[in-house]
Amino acid sequence: MEARLKPRGSDRLWVLLFLIPSLFGVALGGVGSSAVSILLSFTDWNNVSPPHWVGLANYIASLKDSQFLEAVSTTLRFTIVYVPLCLVTALSAALLLNRRLPGQGFFRAAFFFPSLTSAVAVALVFSWIYAKDGGLLNRALGLVGIPPITWMGSKTIFWAVTIANVWGAVGEGMIVFLAALQAVPSLYYEAARIDGAGSLRRFFKITLPLISPAIFFQIVIYTVNALQAFEYIYMLARRQQGASEMTTAVYLIYRNGFRWFNMGLASTEAVLLALVIVIFMVLYFRAEKRFVYYE
């Protein structure tokens, strides 16, 4: 069977021709841009004059910069909250929609719809929901006598942005979990029922182990997305002069590189963020062997 799937003769040429555009994009957009960013991290460049080599000066400055360290801390805190919320919400939605319910197709499409919508459009909707004067949320609270709350203020912006990000990410995870749930053989559940196992026991002993590869996949995706979060934060938390009520690592990289035109420092911060992502991935894949079950 495997031999049939391997292209032979002229088929190999056609496979290569179809792959060339994607390989070209990876080479330039992925490998090429990463190599350029690493090179620029050792320079002082204002996007106009030729880059000036400064060695490790940008790295030393970044690691001593309290603003950058605070941005990384905010990013990590966001990741710690965002990933579990996305997992629990997406898995709960998948478990609910895996049952035979009236309007099942409609609700599946409704949950997945935010994943197809532009992040900028979704952020604009949430900015209207969170608005202090005339916002949908404050209007609802006013009906029960609660005064307006500044949802996008410094004290609450973290949770406002996190909820918006989770809402936009649940649909994709729900589809992955739903596919994993439907791939679990019903024979296992029937045998467990015969043995007298309750619904909770079946969930923890059968469902979770068998969908653990999907859970691991979504943990990786959600973690990378959280560490690189930008769109919702830019739209909801930005203030005048490029400031932000919630400065994350990517937002600071954007501001240093494209507002203050310090591309060398921005590239350095991007490389350091990439190292943080690599550390997370190493830890995840080491833990995979202990917690992920492949049938």
Give the CATH number of domain 41-291; options: 2.60.15.10, 1.10.357.10, 1.20.120.330, 1.10.3720.10. Answer: 1.10.3720.10
Q: Which residue has the higher pLDDT, 226 or 13?
A: 226
The per-residue pLDDT for range 23-66, each reduced to its tens digit, is: 777 777 777 788 889 999 999 998 888 899 999 999 999 999 99
The per-residue pLDDT for range 147-177, each reduced to its tens digit, is: 888 888 888 899 999 999 999 888 889 999 9
Mean pLDDT of all residues belonging to the chain: 87
Task: Look at residue 67 in the predicted model and tell me its pLDDT.
Answer: 93
Task: Look at residue 60 in the predicted model and tell me its pLDDT.
Answer: 95
The per-residue pLDDT for range 187-214, each reduced to its tens digit, is: 888 888 888 888 888 888 888 999 999 9
Cα dihedral across residues 46, 52, 58, 59: positive or negative: positive
Task: Look at residue 121 in the predicted model and tell me its pLDDT.
Answer: 85
b/e 230-267 (16+ beta carbons within 10 angstroms → b): ebbbbbbbbeeeeebbbbbbbbbbbbbbeeeebbbbbb
Percent of the chain with pLDDT over 90: 43
Task: Look at residue 223 in the predicted model and tell me its pLDDT.
Answer: 96
The 3 state secondary structure assigned to 74-117 is HHHHHHHHHHHHHHHHHHHHHHHHCCCCCCHHHHHHHHHHHHHC
Examine the pLDDT at 3 and tell me if it is beyond 60: no
Cα 219 from Cα 86, distance rounded (Å): 9
How many CB atoms lie under 10 A from the CB of residue 78?
21
Read off the amino acid at residue 30. Answer: G
Examine the pLDDT at 1 and tell me if it is beyond 50: no
The per-residue pLDDT for range 4-14, each reduced to its tens digit, is: 556 555 677 77
Read off the amino acid at residue 181. Answer: L
Q: Which residue has the higher pLDDT, 15 or 262?
A: 262
DSSP letter for each residue of 202-238? HIIIIIHHHTHHHHHHHHHHHHHHHHT--HHHHHHHB
The per-residue pLDDT for range 19-34, each reduced to its tens digit, is: 888 777 777 777 778 8
Give which of 128, 163, 153, 165 is closest to 250, Cα–Cα: 165
User: Strand (E) positions, the chain?
Assistant: 43-44, 52-53
Cα 115 from Cα 170, distance rounded (Å): 8
Cβ(248)–Cβ(238) below 8 Å: no
Task: Look at residue 240 in the predicted model and tell me its pLDDT.
Answer: 72
Q: Which residue has the higher pLDDT, 286 or 115?
A: 286
pLDDT-based confidence at 2, cuts 50/70/90? very low
For residue 129 the two structure tokens come to 């929901």
Q: Which residue has the higher pLDDT, 135 or 109?
A: 135
pLDDT-based confidence at 238, cuts 50/70/90? confident
State whether residue 183 is helix, strand or coil: coil
Q: Which residue has the higher pLDDT, 122 or 90?
A: 90
Domain ranges in the chain with CATH number 1.10.3720.10: 41-291
